[in-house]
Amino acid sequence: MQAFERELLTLLPRLRRFARALARDSADADDLLQVALERALKARDQWAAGTRLDAWMMRIVRNCWIDEMRSRTRRARTFVPEEEGEMTGVDMQAELDARAEMHAVDRAMANLSPEQREVIALVLVEGLAYREAAELLEIPIGTLTSRLTRGRQALAQMLEAA
Amino acid sequence: MMTIDDDMLMAFVDGELDEVSRARVERAVVEDPVLMDRLEQQKRLRERLAAHYGPTAEEEVPERFRAMLESNVVALPAAAPRIGRPVWQSLTALAATLVLGLAIGRTLLAPTPAAGPLAVEGGVMVARGELAQALDTQLASAQPRDAATRIGVTFANNDGRPCRTFDSPAAAGIACHGDTGWQVMMTAAGSGRQRADYRQAGSENLLVQQTAQEMMAGEPYDDAAERRARDSGWRSNTPRR
């Protein structure tokens, strides 16, 4: 095993937690991590040795998650955006059943917009500094903090009401 | 009273404020029970997320991810350029670790060749007993979970001799196979642990790992190459992959 794989190995627990915070349950999270690892191993030449592998890898996990969300949306166009909180027919029932089974925290996270969920996962779960998280997502700090504030307010509301 | 907006309160919770602003928030919180409530709410949220997601990072990582990384080596181009130090520098480093190793090793040396894990024969340190046995027979890919000595990586050094890293309660180190059996090239303090999930020997012993990296010609053996090397009796000049 080379340094790249070895370092990646030590990052796995954290990456798994990050994937877990993005995905809706542990099975989805591990699927996400698998896809991300495959992508990372293929793209390993693009990682510049000496730069932070954790940030590079988290970006890949995040991008894979976004791709997965998009393809899910394409597969099931009956789903309206989650913020509107409305779904139709059979899908709605299936989705409601699935959500009833979910842990309160997962459910609350699933109700956030993807933009809010990823900043919560990076800053509150993974403990990244604002600057690090903003760089990773390639957004201005102000955008990051406003998403963070709104995401947090929504989470606190949902969790305290439950 | 100073107003503290949500952004500022959250930056406070996240440890993103400079000292002056932090002191301002701290003062304001003391004076304002409503603000105190909001702060407590934010702290509860953080704790709740940590309690929910934290355990994932504590769990043992599923084997399939580990396997993906471990098997990736095989798929790599065999001739990845090694940006090594000049040989003499590596040798100096190696000599230094060897001296250190001897200092540690002395306490482990057996009074008679057969008793302890290490012995000195003709001026070189060699593996004996259980350690020699493990080096001879144990495959990193299939070691008993409760094995006292764990084998880490197996590789060929610049002379084409097969070398293996090991970790036992008594000592960790690197041994290379030669005419007199397993010559111990360096030792370091062993992990001395009996953790059941402790798979990769030496994975936490940086000194051993770094030295192995320095000594390595090409890539570490994969499972098949390790098995072939064992079955051939640890012959030297194993063709480099």
Kindly state whether B37 is in contact with chain A, defined as any CB-CB distance less than 8 angstroms. Answer: no
* B67 assigned to some structural domain: no
What CATH number is attached to the domain comprising A42?
Answer: 1.10.1740.10
Kindly state whether A143 is in contact with chain B, defined as any CB-CB distance less than 8 angstroms. Answer: no
- Tell whether A54 and A4 lie within a shared domain: yes
Q: What is the mean pLDDT of chain A?
A: 86
Residue B182: strand pairing partners: B177
A32, A51, A75: which is the final residue of a domain?
Answer: A75
- Tell whether A107 and A126 lie within a shared domain: yes
Q: What is the mean pLDDT of the segment spanning B14-23?
A: 92
Q: Is residue B147 within 8 Å of B129, Cβ to Cβ?
A: no
- pTM for this model (two decimals): 0.54
Q: What is the mean pLDDT of the segment spanning B214-233?
A: 87
At B88 the pLDDT is 47
Q: What is the mean pLDDT of the segment spanning A105-111?
A: 92
* DSSP-derived 3-state class of residue B80: coil
- Tell whether B144 and B189 lie within a shared domain: yes
Query: CB distance B61–A34 less than 8 Å?
Result: no
Q: Is residue B174 within 8 Å of B125, Cβ to Cβ?
A: no
Q: What is the mean pLDDT of chain B?
A: 77
> Number of folded domains in chain B?
2
d(C-alpha B105, C-alpha B120), whole Å: 10
Q: Is residue A5 within 8 Å of B51, Cβ to Cβ?
A: no
Q: How confident is the model over A27-79, as pLDDT tens digits?
A: 999 999 999 999 999 988 888 878 889 999 999 999 999 998 888 877 766 54
Q: What share of chain A is helix, strand, coil (3-state, %, to 5)?
A: 80, 0, 20
Tokens 């098997």 found at: B71
Residue B26 domain boundaries? 6-58
pLDDT band for position B102 (cuts 50, 70, 90): low
- Tell whether A158 and A96 lie within a shared domain: yes
Of the two residues A16 and A98, the one the predictor is more confident about is A16
d(C-alpha B77, C-alpha B96), whole Å: 33
Give B153's DSSP letter.
E
* B139 assigned to some structural domain: yes
Q: How many CB atoms lie within 10 A of CB B85?
A: 12
At A48 the pLDDT is 84
List chain B residues with CB under 8 Å of A12: 61, 65-66
List chain B residues with CB under 8 Å of A13: 56-59, 61
A75, A106, A135: which is the final residue of a domain?
Answer: A75
Q: What is the mean pLDDT of the segment spanning A100-123?
A: 90
Q: How many cross-chain Cβ pairs, A to B, lie less than 8 Å apart?
A: 96
Selected residues 40-69 of chain A with any CB under 8 Å from a CB in chain B: 41
B177-to-A147, B20, B43, B93, B210 alpha-carbon distances in Å? 60, 63, 58, 21, 19
Q: How confident is the model over B141-179, as pLDDT tens digits?
A: 888 877 888 888 899 988 888 999 988 877 888 999 988
Q: Sign of the CA dihedral B78, B80, B84, B86? A: positive
Of the two residues B27 and B120, the one the predictor is more confident about is B27
Q: Is residue B172 within 8 Å of B202, Cβ to Cβ?
A: yes
* A117 assigned to some structural domain: yes
At B34 the pLDDT is 92
Lowest mean pLDDT among A130-134, B8-12, B235-239: B235-239
> Number of folded domains in chain A?
2
At B147 the pLDDT is 82
pLDDT of residue B77 exceeding 50: no
Residue B175: strand pairing partners: B164, B184
pLDDT band for position B74 (cuts 50, 70, 90): very low
B26-to-B3, B12, B14, B32 alpha-carbon distances in Å? 12, 9, 14, 10
Residue A116 domain boundaries? 85-162
* A157 assigned to some structural domain: yes
B interface test, pick of A10, A11, A15, A20 with most B CB neighbours within 10 Å: A20
Residue B157: strand pairing partners: B216
Q: What is the mean pLDDT of the segment spanning B108-119?
A: 62
At B217 the pLDDT is 86
d(C-alpha A75, C-alpha A72), whole Å: 5
Tokens 């008679």 found at: B112
- Tell whether A1 and A66 lie within a shared domain: yes
Residue B106: strand pairing partners: none
* B64 assigned to some structural domain: no
B58, B73, B101: which is the final residue of a domain?
Answer: B58
d(C-alpha A117, C-alpha A109), whole Å: 6
pLDDT above 70 covers a percentage of chain A that reads 83
Q: Is residue B148 within 8 Å of B169, Cβ to Cβ?
A: yes
* A80 assigned to some structural domain: no
Indicate the helix (H) or strand (E) that contains A19. helix A3-22
Selected residues 67-106 of chain A with any CB under 8 Å from a CB in chain B: 103, 105-106
Q: What is the mean pLDDT of the segment spanning B132-141?
A: 89
Q: Sign of the CA dihedral B107, B110, B115, B119? A: positive
pLDDT of residue B41 exceeding 50: yes
* B69 assigned to some structural domain: no
d(C-alpha B103, C-alpha B92), whole Å: 17
pLDDT band for position B202 (cuts 50, 70, 90): very low
What CATH number is attached to the domain comprising A137?
Answer: 1.10.10.10
B43, B58, B73: which is the final residue of a domain?
Answer: B58
Kindly state whether B46 is in contact with chain A, defined as any CB-CB distance less than 8 angstroms. Answer: yes
Read off the amino acid at residue A16.
Answer: R
Which residue, A32, A14, A10, is CA-closest to A22? A32
